[in-house]
Structure 1
Amino acid sequence: MTRALTTPSTLTSCCAKTPPTTPPPTDPQVRILCFDKPSGWTSFNAVKFLRNRCQTRKAGHLGTLDPLATGVLPVFLGEATKLIPLFNQQHKSYQATVLLGRQTDTWDTEGKTLEEKPLGALKPEVVRKVLEAFQGNIELPIPAFSARKVKGRRAYELVRKGERVPEQTQQVVIDEFGIESLEMPEVAFRLRCTSGTYIRSIAHGLGLQLGTGACLAKLRRVKVGREFDETNSITPERLEDDPQTWPWLDLRGLLKDHPSVQLDEVALGKIRNGMRVEIAPENWEGAAKPPKASEEDAPVCAWTTSGENLVALGRVLWENDQDYFQPHRIFHQDRTC
């Protein structure tokens, strides 16, 4: 039986034909979607697909997923791309399946097979003991087939041209780990790790230590930080034609841990021109404290008086017993999507 592969080209639609009939569920200038990336798509494919559907030029995402992988890919559209640095270093959680006895050039099953070895009398207890050592602060090799730059060029581009890529390693932290199943030749586990960790490296390292070779067979990202997970993600097939109906994430909820001020239109007009403005005690929202009592560069959100629209990110300056808001990222009106 032939299975039809869903690709970005089979899911195209123009979102601008019909004007929105209902108000958007969040700030129309700043749109963030938790996308459930299908297998076979690159992260670039996913971003391009959403960008075209929304007819916006600017788009970005948190944490690249290999084509093999599926799962949570937070995508930031339009002015929301300016928020990416606030979330870019968050921990990520995965479910992974490793195939023992096979070594490939990409360290996953999509690569060229370099060697296959029988597992012989290898016992599950030995695999479990070796795998459980991949926890805490560890050093892992970086795959040659990766997006890391070597002398200004992507490593995978050099490999494909037959050029040698020097071996590199990285320090990562795996702070949660659990084996879910161990049925030879496959072992499935769940982990939470620092941003930038290559799960393929764990598979490759396991194979080296066991002497059997191993590669990554399946990978699903289930969570990014605290805000993005499977419960608020959506697959491309479930997206309606009109982006106004999409499950855009609540901006207020995403930024709830950042102190906020509400300012009038006079002050916001100055902010939009890059000028700093005075902040009165009544401008602070809720129990927010002036950041002079916390980290100097702690980001502060400036909202309209209604509290519905994000106007700028900035920091607070303390001068002559007066708080000043100094913008460093300004959110301009984006009428697309």
Structure 2
Amino acid sequence: MPRKRKGRHVTGIFLLDKGKGLSSNKALQQIKHLFEAKKAGHTGSLDPLATGVLPIFFGQATKFSRFLLEAEKTYETTIGLGVTTESGDAETKVLRKRPTNNLKRDRIESVLKKYLGKTKQIPPMFSALKVDGERLYKLARKGITVDRAPRDVEVYELNLLSLSGNEAKLFMRCSKGTYVRTLVEDIGESLGCGAHVRELRRLRVASFSIKDCYTFESILDFRKKNQLLDTKLLPIDSALSGWPKIFVPKESHTSLRHGKTVSVEGFVPFGLVTIYSKSSNLPEEFLGIGEFFANGQLSPKKMLIN
């Protein structure tokens, strides 16, 4: 018989400001332990070097975490010009040093413009992607390099915030799957001097902002003061803000939860929607997500268990 998971049933989303030096999985396990939760997951890894927004999903919220993986992300990064490293960041050995020839703002800003928009990006070897069941970074540590398929990514904003000597600070807003380290390395090559990431901070994931996040230390402090940690959780549908809402009567709830399509009149637009209960006496209740079609049919995709 499978072993029962230890812990209590916790449902909701916790916004962690991940500290430097921790893997995303290690941070997840620490928060899961503090909440004494049975089930938890995160949405999109941050490198140990990186800090910032790491949403942690508990319980039934984990059903919806993949939709946040699709969301755009915002970063601020400090890059070292004139130096390339094995992993593209400051965590590994230096491969090459080149003169920067006193780079000016206008030269850097001109190069940054070239990286706006859609492009193909080859994931770095030092990444959590798997090839034949093994993480790429584990192969990289053994000195093994394998072919990686290029991926479609998009950079929506890319701005130079400051320049001081051989160090520049950049702001970027990009699509899912964009590797900042790879982008910085490419920018460095376009500048002719190479570059690597010295610091990286994720400022936003979809609508979740760094200003709404809690550090691990603050959560420890809340617990010392006997404050209820569950009060720091956000509702599941906060991860889906901006999605079209569709309201259904109570008699449709059971059918939707059993995977059956129901009819809904007078609703647009078509496509993925959030589903809520419809009652004149009670506040709206999030039920799940579905797909609404032009023929007025609503098909459930992910539903909460009542």
TM over 0.5: same fold? yes
1:200 corresponds to: 181
Distance 1:250 1:183 in 2: 42
1:260 corresponds to: 246
1:310 corresponds to: 286
TM-score (norm 1): 0.76
2:3 corresponds to: none
Distance 1:34 1:117 in 2: 40
2:4 corresponds to: none
Match among 327, 331, 334 for residue 300 of structure 2: 327
Residue 209 of structure 1 and its aligned partner are, at CA, apart by 2.3
Residue 55 of structure 1 and its aligned partner are, at CA, apart by 2.5
% identity of equivalent residues: 29
Distance 1:277 1:148 in 2: 36
Q: Does 1:276 align with 2:260?
A: yes
Q: Does 1:136 align with 2:117?
A: yes
1:54 corresponds to: 35
Q: Does 1:238 align with 2:203?
A: no
For the Cα contact (< 8 Å) 1:304–1:311, is it kept in 2? no
Which residue identity is paired with 2:217? E
Residues 36-75 of structure 1 mapped to structure 2, 5 A cutoff: 36-75=17-56
Distance 1:100 1:94 in 2: 18
1:298 match: secondary structure: strand
Inter-CA distance 56–304: structure 2 relative to 1 (3 Å threshold): farther
Inter-CA distance 171–329: structure 2 relative to 1 (3 Å threshold): closer
Match among 214, 217, 223 for residue 195 of structure 2: 214
Residue 316 of structure 1 and its aligned partner are, at CA, apart by 4.9
More deviation in 86-95 or 53-62? Answer: 53-62
Deviations 1:104-157 (A, max 9, x none): 110000111112234345445433332332212233342111122323432112
For the Cα contact (< 8 Å) 1:262–1:303, is it kept in 2? yes
Q: How many residues align?
A: 293
Which residue identity is paired with 2:245? P
Residue 101 of structure 1 and its aligned partner are, at CA, apart by 1.7
For the Cα contact (< 8 Å) 2:244–2:269, is it kept in 1? no
Q: Does 1:98 align with 2:79?
A: yes
Which residue identity is paired with 1:276? K
Inter-CA distance 163–169: structure 2 relative to 1 (3 Å threshold): same
Residue 159 of structure 1 and its aligned partner are, at CA, apart by 1.5
- Contiguous gaps of at least 5 residues in structure 1: 1-14, 17-27, 282-288
Inter-CA distance 300–119: structure 2 relative to 1 (3 Å threshold): closer
Distance 1:168 1:317 in 2: 34
- Contiguous gaps of at least 5 residues in structure 2: 1-6
Residue 191 of structure 1 and its aligned partner are, at CA, apart by 1.1
Which residue identity is paired with 1:259? K
1:247 corresponds to: 232
Inter-CA distance 252–163: structure 2 relative to 1 (3 Å threshold): closer
2:119 match: secondary structure: strand
2:272 corresponds to: 298
Distance 1:143 1:268 in 2: 45
Which residue identity is paired with 1:145? F
Distance 1:95 1:316 in 2: 37
Residue 197 of structure 1 and its aligned partner are, at CA, apart by 0.6
Residue 195 of structure 1 and its aligned partner are, at CA, apart by 0.9
Residue 248 of structure 1 and its aligned partner are, at CA, apart by 2.0
For the Cα contact (< 8 Å) 1:301–1:314, is it kept in 2? yes
For the Cα contact (< 8 Å) 2:68–2:239, is it kept in 1? no
1:285 corresponds to: none
Pairwise CA RMSD: 3.0
Inter-CA distance 248–304: structure 2 relative to 1 (3 Å threshold): farther
TM-score (norm 2): 0.82
Residue 44 of structure 1 and its aligned partner are, at CA, apart by 0.9
Which residue identity is paired with 1:228? F
Residue 102 of structure 1 and its aligned partner are, at CA, apart by 1.4
Q: Does 1:35 align with 2:13?
A: no
2:107 corresponds to: 126
For the Cα contact (< 8 Å) 2:19–2:50, is it kept in 1? yes
Distance 1:308 1:29 in 2: 21
For the Cα contact (< 8 Å) 1:29–1:331, is it kept in 2? no
